[in-house]
Structure 1
């Protein structure tokens, strides 16, 4: 009986320990991703934790409206997250997206809707308050476009600011 009790305590303790270790990312995070490069600029960003393995889904929605072109961009990424130490995590992911461009006269060749695939690698810091800052690199590869510029590699480096809940 004593051995059975100790075995049960060990199994429960190990399960609680693994569960505590797996909760290094928040269930939800909502904020802004301030990107550059050939992107649309700032994007509204939402992250949702998936399961117990520190994996998550990130969905970003961005738009740009200026004198040269109007653009709407939707990106979805699956990310793997690893804890470093003291509130720091690093992550990597893959995904795809859709870009719709309505260009002015000079950029008429850019009009249309395009698909792209993306990678993602970055580092983030979660504060003791429900705030997270991140810095990531997202290479994007466009395809199915008549425009050679949109079919090429487009690097994007961004700073993310998100509220965790």
Structure 2
């Protein structure tokens, strides 16, 4: 059974890597509105690496239950075409952050995955919807698996 799963993953990666992606813009900057560990927004920047890959950096603020937190997350993403101006992407990365509670301050680290869909308008506008599971490493604020579901709006240049 384990060999079948490995074979399926290898087959999926081989098929998707053979597809040609539409052009990824050199840079995109905007906002990402999400909802893990409290509602918040992130300033999001994407940087083109090659035809199918890019880096994404998100600097955000979250607030929930008298806890305010800032975090910076970096992701490496693989971008693949779906249909027309639609792409899908997946990625992996890590991040760091700090939080302020009535009981005190602290910092945390996290590892993250990312999967989403985006639409590239004919004007320099990109809209996306994605899920970013984050596994945090801290005893107080972010010590479990959270799912950050977000809507992103970015200007491409």
With structure 2 as the length reference, what TM-score do the two structures score? 0.81
Q: Aligned pair in 2 of structure 1 residues 114, 92: CA closer, same or farther (>3 Å)? A: same
Q: Which has the larger radius of gyration?
A: 1
More strand by share: 2
Which residue of structure 1 lines up, in the alignment, with residue 101 of structure 2? 103
Which residue of structure 1 lines up, in the alignment, with residue 54 of structure 2? 56
Which residue of structure 2 lines up, in the alignment, with residue 161 of structure 1? 153
Which residue of structure 2 lines up, in the alignment, with residue 92 of structure 1? 90
The answer to whether 1:28 aligns with 2:21 is no
Which residue of structure 1 lines up, in the alignment, with residue 144 of structure 2? 152
> What 5-or-longer segments of structure 1 have no aligned partner?
1-20
1:5-44, aligned counterparts within 5 Å? 23-39=22-38, 41-44=40-43
More helix by share: 1
Q: Aligned pair in 2 of structure 1 residues 28, 59: CA closer, same or farther (>3 Å)? A: same
Give the one of 117, 123, 132 matched to 1:138.
132
Per-residue deviation at 1:65? 6.3
Q: Contact 2:118–2:126 at 8 Å: present in 1 too?
A: yes
Per-residue deviation at 1:40? 5.7
In 1, Cα distance between the equivalents of 2:22 and 2:117?
17
With structure 1 as the length reference, what TM-score do the two structures score? 0.77
Q: Can you list the C-alpha shifts for 1:107-159, whole angstroms capped at 9, x where unaligned?
A: x26x311000000000000000000100000000011x222x62100111000
Q: What is the SS of the residue equivalent to 1:38?
A: coil
In 1, Cα distance between the equivalents of 2:61 and 2:94?
17
Which residue of structure 2 lines up, in the alignment, with residue 3 of structure 1? none
Residues matched between the structures, number:
138
Q: Aligned pair in 2 of structure 1 residues 158, 102: CA closer, same or farther (>3 Å)? A: same
Q: Over aligned residue pairs, what C-alpha RMSD do you find?
A: 1.9
